[in-house]
Amino acid sequence: MGWVAPAATAITAITAVAAGRQASAAGKYNQAIQERNAQVAEQEVETIEQQKEFDIARFDEQFQRLQGQTKTAVLKSGAELSGSGLRILRFNAEQAEIEKDIISYNAKVNQQRKFEEANFARMQGVVARNQARAAEIGYYAQAGTSLLAGFGE
C-alpha cells in the first residue's frame, strides 16, 4: 500500500491542474462570446443610423407630396397662395422639422443604448475572464497543496 498514497496525490494534482486549464479556457471562451456580442451591438448602431437616414428621406418625400397637395388645393379653390395658404404651408414646414428632429433624437437614443449594451457586454467578458482566472488559481493552489501534503511529509 506504499504506492497508493503517492499515486492518489499525483492523480489529485494532475486533475486539479487539468481543471485549472479548463477554467482558463472557459474564461477565454466566455470573454470571446461577450466581445462578439459587443461587436454585434456596435454594428446595430450603424444600422440605426442608416435607418434614420432612410426614414428622414422617406419623410421628406411624403412631406413634399403633402406640400404639393396643399398648394394645389389652395390654388384649385380659387384663392391666392398668400395669407391662410402660406400660413398652412409654413406650419406644415415647421411641423416637418419637428418630426425630423424627433426621428433623429430617437435614433440617437437607440444608438446610445446599443453603445451601452456593447460596453456592458465587454464588462461581462472581463468579469467572466477574471472569474475563470480566480478558479484557475484556486485549482493550481489545490494541486500544490495536494502535492505538498502528499510528498511533503
Element (H, E) at 117: helix 84-151
Long-range pairs for 112-118 at CB < 8 Å and ≥24 separation? 114/41, 114/42, 114/44, 114/45, 114/48, 115/41, 115/42, 115/45, 117/37, 117/38, 117/41, 118/37, 118/38, 118/39, 118/41, 118/42, 118/45
3-state helix, strand, coil in the chain (%, to 5): 90, 0, 10
**What is the amino acid identity at position 114?**
K
- Spatial CA neighbour of 96 closest among 122, 69, 66: 66
What confidence score (pLDDT) does residue 1 get? 47
pLDDT tens digit at each of 153 positions of the chain: 466 666 667 777 788 788 888 888 888 898 999 999 999 999 999 999 999 999 999 999 999 999 999 888 888 887 777 788 888 889 999 999 999 999 999 999 999 999 999 999 999 999 988 888 888 888 777 877 777 777 665
What confidence score (pLDDT) does residue 103 get? 96
> How far is residue 139's CA from residue 36's CA, in Å, rounded to a whole number?
28
pTM of the model: 0.69
